[in-house]
């Protein structure tokens, strides 16, 4: 505990556990449900110890049926509860896509505003942990395509701690994507809610030469790339989107107006991804501010490999981000520039 600043150092998984526990102490309507969240403590140890405090009625282990328990969570939300539903990985959420897209996201509209679905769905996302293609993809951008839900992507320990409270207060579905590579990250977290709006992006590193736009697990990679670019005299600004739906256009455009260049970094695939949406919005709203085409660095268009060297080659890396930034600074062409690579259900924690 840092008494002078009113903050505490914790890991991201501890921050989310603290957020869930505080919410359950404050509101008897809040409960957690999902696979292995109880006695096992969550496959990434996020809910470790919560069963002992809150009991099996409020920390509920579910069968291996994403469609079933997400549907149960939607029903509980409609009946007045405030469920937190944990899906082990984003890949498994596809088994509940009908519940999320056709029910949770649409019921307010289809009922003429009579019904809300105040549910929070947490999913682990992202690669870099050698868990192969069925546990490692980044489908965050898919969900950002869907009206009727909010999509959040915490990248800092502070956001892991403080995003959940306003998400639970939202009258509509909120999906929180937690990058598995961030769970062990540590950070200094304020003990009082800073009150940052969920739909607001944050400039994590100020710069004058180009805007580097990212979210979730690629934020640390972008900050490292910005540090390397600084040694060449390139001052990159790094924007943490935090929210993918809605997107904070204003912060992105303000940065582009200052820097006149942009690179979007996304761990999802390039084709049809949210990086293309962000690039299109920049072109539509700030075309005459640009001194170079908008660059993109994404995961290569393959199912994520298991071998460590192949997985790292497929994911956005410091080397690829630095290369894209230098191309942008030179005003070069991006055709193919960001496509080349640099040379059981219970998931291990």
3-state secondary structure 240-258: ECCEEECCCHHHHHHHHHH
- Decide if 18 is inside a domain: yes
Would 49 be classed as within a structural domain?
yes
The CATH number that applies at residue 301 is 3.40.50.920
CA 130 to chain centre: 19
Asked whether residue 212 falls in the same domain as residue 174, the answer is: no
**Residue that the structure tokens 């939202």 belong to:** 170
Q: What does the block give as tokens for 105?
A: 């996201």
Buried b (16+ CB within 10 A) or exposed e, 49-60: ebbeebeeebbb
CB-CB neighbours of 229 under 10 Å: 22
Residues 6+ apart with CB under 8 A from 141: 244, 266, 268, 272, 273, 274, 275, 277
Looking at the fold, whether 324 and 241 belong to one and the same domain comes out as yes
pTM for this entry: 0.92
Is the residue at 113 inside a domain?
yes
For residues 135 and 223, membership in a common domain is answered with no
Task: Please check whether residues 165 and 272 belong to one and the same domain.
Answer: no
Q: Same domain for 142 and 260? A: no
- The alpha-helical segments, DSSP class H, found in the chain are 12-26, 50-54, 66-78, 97, 107-110, 140-144, 157-162, 164-169, 219-230, 249-259, 274-286, 308-314, 318-329
Cβ burial, residue 111 (10 Å; 0-12/13-18/19+): exposed
| 40, part of any domain | yes
Rounded CA separation 214/265 (Å): 5
Which residue's entry shows tokens 């449900």?
33
Instruction: Write out the residue range of the structural domain in which residue 105 sits.
Output: 7-190
To the nearest 10°, report the CA torsion of 281, 286, 292, 293.
20
Query: Which of 155, 190, 225 finishes a domain?
Result: 190
Digit-coded pLDDT (tens) for 15-35: 999 999 999 999 999 999 999
Residue 348 lies in a domain: no
Q: Are residues 236 and 138 in the same domain?
A: no
pLDDT value of position 1: 54
Residues serving a catalytic function are 66, 135
Are 53 and 142 members of one domain? yes
pLDDT value at residue 30: 98
Q: Which distant-in-sequence residues (6+ apart) come within 8 Å of 227 by Cβ?
A: none
Task: Tell whether 136 is covered by a domain.
Answer: yes
The answer to whether residues 206 and 166 belong to one domain is: no
Q: How many angstroms separate the CA atoms of 64 and 48, rounded?
A: 19
Q: Which of 134, 156, 190 marks a domain boundary? A: 190
The pLDDT assigned to 341 comes to 37
| Sequence-ordered list of residues with C-beta below 8 angstroms from that of 228, at least 6 positions apart, any chain | 318, 322
Judging by DSSP bridges, how do beta strands 7-11 and 186-190 pair with one another? antiparallel
**pLDDT value of residue 331:** 80
What are the pLDDT digits (tens) for 63-105?
999 999 999 999 999 999 999 999 999 999 999 999 999 999 9
In angstroms, the first-to-last Cα distance of the chain is: 26
Choose among 157, 123, 161: nearest CA to 140: 123
Token pair in block for residue 109: 């509209």
- The DSSP code for 2 is B
Asked which of 161, 190, 219 is the last residue of a domain, the reply is 190
CATH number for 172? 3.40.50.970
CA distance 183 to 199: 22
Distance from C-alpha of 159 to C-alpha of 137, rounded to nearest angstrom: 22
**Across all residues in the chain, what is the average pLDDT?**
93
Same domain, 221 and 106: no
Q: How far is it between the farthest Cα atoms of the chain?
A: 59
Tally the domains of the chain.
2
Q: Is residue 174 part of a domain?
A: yes
Residue 175 and residue 274 in one domain: no
Residues of the chain with pLDDT under 70: 1-5, 332-349
Q: Identify whether the C-beta of residue 312 lies closer than 8 Å to the C-beta of residue 280.
A: no
- Which residues are within 8 A (CB) of 55 and not within 5 positions of it... i.e. 6 or more apart? none
- Structure tokens given for 21: 């526990």
| Residue 128: predicted pLDDT | 87
Question: Is 223 found in the same domain as 173?
Answer: no
Please name the residue that has the structure tokens 């962000």.
Answer: 278
Residues 321 and 225 in one domain: yes
Q: Identify whether 345 is part of a domain.
A: no
């Amino acid at each position: 505990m840092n008494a002078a600043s009113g903050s505490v150092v914790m890991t991201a998984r501890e921050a989310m556990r603290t957020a869930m526990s505080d919410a359950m102490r404050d509101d008897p309507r809040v409960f957690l449900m999902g696979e292995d969240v109880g006695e096992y403590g969550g496959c990434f140890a996020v809910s470790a110890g919560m069963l002992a405090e809150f009991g099996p009625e409020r920390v509920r282990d579910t069968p291996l049926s994403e469609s079933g328990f997400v549907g149960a969570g939607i029903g509980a939300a409609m009946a007045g509860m405030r469920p937190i539903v944990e899906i082990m990985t984003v890949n498994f959420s596809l088994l509940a896509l009908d519940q999320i897209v056709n029910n949770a996201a649409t019921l307010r509209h289809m009922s003429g505003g009579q019904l809300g679905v105040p549910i929070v769905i947490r999913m682990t996302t992202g690669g870099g942990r050698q868990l192969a293609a069925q546990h490692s993809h980044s489908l965050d951008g898919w969900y950002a395509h869907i009206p009727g839900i909010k999509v959040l992507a915490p990248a800092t320990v502070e956001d892991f701690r403080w995003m959940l409270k306003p998400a639970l207060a939202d009258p509509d579905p909120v999906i929180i994507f937690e990058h598995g590579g961030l769970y062990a990250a540590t950070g200094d977290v304020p003990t009082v809610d800073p009150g940052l709006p969920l739909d607001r992006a944050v400039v994590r590193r100020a710069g004058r030469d180009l805007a580097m736009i990212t979210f979730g697990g690629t934020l640390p990679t972008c900050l490292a790339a910005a540090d390397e670019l600084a040694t060449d005299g390139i001052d990159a600004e790094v924007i943490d989107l935090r929210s993918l739906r809605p997107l904070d256009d204003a912060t992105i455009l303000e940065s582009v107006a200052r820097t006149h260049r942009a690179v979007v970094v996304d761990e999802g695939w390039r084709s049809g991804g949210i990086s293309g949406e962000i690039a299109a919005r920049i072109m539509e709203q700030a075309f005459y501010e640009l001194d170079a085409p908008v660059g993109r660095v994404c995961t290569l268009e393959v199912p994520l490999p298991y071998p460590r060297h192949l997985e790292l080659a497929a994911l956005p890396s410091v080397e690829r981000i630095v290369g894209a930034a230098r191309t942008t600074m030179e005003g070069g062409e991006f055709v193919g520039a960001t496509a080349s690579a640099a040379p059981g259900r219970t998931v291990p924690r």
